[in-house]
Each structure stands twice: as C-alpha cells, then as structure tokens.
Copies of this chain bind each other. A is one copy, B any other.
C-alpha cells in the first residue's frame, strides 16, 4: 500500500485493453508496432506490449535503453538524435551486446561523428525527419545526404522516421498525419535516390494513430495510448472510461468554496498546453476544472457540483501522463481489490 495519497494508480483491465486494441489495429494495418516506453518507463508494461506483438521498443535515452535491455527487451530503438562522445559511444557498444540497437541521426555532422566513434559496432541508424513539429530532424530533402554520410562513416542505415508532434492541438491530428506521410515519403525517396535501401519508415503518435497513411508508414511508435491522459481526452483521442492511469488524491480543504486536493504539480506534472482547459481532469466530475495547480495542491472549481466532503478520495487524470509517471518510483496497480507496486524502473534516466 502507498503511505497515503497522492499516488498514481493503474486500472489493469483498461491498460490491457488499450495495449491490445492498438496492437490489433497495427496487425490489421500490417504495420509494425514499436511502442515508445518513455510513457510508462516500466518493464512490466513493456513485456505486455511485446507479448501483444510489438516488434521491439522505442526509448528516448541511452539510459532507458540500458534499463529495458537489462529487463529482457532485445530490440531497442533510441528515437533520439544522439550527439555521441567517447563515453556515450562506449555505452552504445555495450548495449549492442545485449540487444539489437538503433538510434537516430538528424544531420550529416551527427552521422559522421557517430560513425567515427562507433566504428564497426553492429548498430543501425534511422534518419530523423522534421515533419512539422520543428523540434529535431532533417528536412526530407536532406535525408539522402545524411544517410550517405552515415554509410560512408561505416554505419548501417535502417530507414527514416519522424514524430508528428504537431498533432497535439485540437483538430490537428488529420493534417499532422498527412504531413507525416508526405515528409516520410519524400525522405524515403531522397535516401533511395542516394542508392541506399530503406527498410523501415517509422512514424506515429497517439493523436495521429487513427489517420496513419499505411501506404507510406511501415512502423508506428505511439507511447501515451497505454494509459491515455487529460490531453488525449481533450483532443478526443480517448474517452474517460478508457483512461488507465489516475492520481488518487484527497480533498484537504474547501477554501474559497472550492475543493482543494493534495495532488499537485509534483505528482501530476506541470504540463499545460495552451488549449488545455485546466491542469488535469476529474473523471467523476467532468465539468469541474483544476484552476490552480501548486506543488502539492490542486484547486478545483466544481462548476456548481456539490463539494466532495473533506477527507474524500478523488481521482485526477494528469494532463500529460509521461510527466506524471516520471515523478514517482512506483505505479500502484489495482487487481482483484488489492494494490501492488510496479516500479517505474526507468524514472529519471535522462541520459
């Protein structure tokens, strides 16, 4: 049992359903599924994804890759444009002794640097493409030159990938999926025009998943879908009855005629997109909004509903579940009326 509220709890039936539904859809679409485990950072959930047919996992850091490889994940893609130094290259080399490993490059300079440091290490690279989020990534037109540099530096090129993160806005999913397909198709053509085979064209995000162009994309890397969160709820990509993670909290005050919960940004995360209607949502009170989030308090405007009594437990769905999970050492899983701990084993592994 957790010491007290607030704690994050997982509805195992919903989690299993979310994992299964997305796996079945990928199978029906004949695209490979390589889920991003940065969302849950939990070996137990990665195993569940692999049992349901995931071809491997996606991570964001070498540290996450090391952790999941130690827990038996044998095929790991670090979807991150690593800028390697001697020490990082040594870690990648060691990793290849435990798992099939790939990572991202998004420039000729990064590819040359990686090739120089990794020599004949059995590792593959994918060229990251910017499909519209403008975060990292080469342009589709640059992909061929990046891939060529990688090959000349002695690296094996697996293909191209993007994260259409500009799908995270109301009504943006469909156009972001179109951008994703156009950018990946152009990048594939650019790499092939350089005479380099493209075996994998990887995309995907939870919001775009209903709109993926499977004539282009051969692999998907969604993350948040395992749990869902208030962002996905407000974007319309999930519904409250399918959200598998929430923060159990206690009503500690009625100050100012509002319900104040003991869940704050130190367990929910402080993420708030411009279009979010608050700092998290309460499934039991869909009209209520968290109007102020402090480090250890959420102030809830109940929108006319009666205040839940002091001491009552209330569940809060965080805005961005990846941030919430990264704040705790354990998820508490409800099964057969009891709670057991699943370690967030990769929590805090930022490097």
Contact = CB atoms under 8 A, between A and B. Distances in A.
A296 B2 CA distance: 29
Contact of A350 (B138, B260, B267, B311): B267
Nearest to A267: B350
Given A83-B251, A322-B295, A328-B348, A310 B262 contact: no
Copies of this chain held together in the complex: 2
Contact of A299 (B81, B109, B134): B134
B165 A135 contact: no
Contact of A137 (B113, B255, B265): B255
Contact of A252 (B62, B83, B327, B350): B83
A322 B264 CA distance: 12
B265 A107 contact: no
A266 B91 CA distance: 21
A130 B311 CA distance: 20
Contact of A253 (B107, B165, B294, B295): B107
Given A130-B255, A135-B260, A270 B271 contact: yes
Nearest to A80: B296
Interface string A45-85: 00000000000000011110000000000000000111101
B135 A323 contact: no
Given A299-B134, A310-B107, A6 B81 contact: no
A345 to B, nearest CB: 13
A18 interface: no
B4 A88 contact: yes
A97 to B, nearest CB: 18
A260 B38 contact: no
B165 A294 contact: yes
A310 B108 CA distance: 12
Interface string A221-256: 000000000000000000000000000001111111
Interface string A110-139: 100100000000000000001001111110
A322 B327 CA distance: 13
Can you list the 7 inter-chain pairs with the closest CB atoms, starting with the nearest? A4-B351, A270-B270, A83-B252, A270-B271, A136-B253, A136-B255, A60-B296
14 contacts: A4-B62, A4-B87, A7-B351, A83-B251, A107-B310, A109-B310, A110-B252, A113-B311, A262-B350, A266-B326, A270-B270, A270-B272, A295-B322, A328-B348
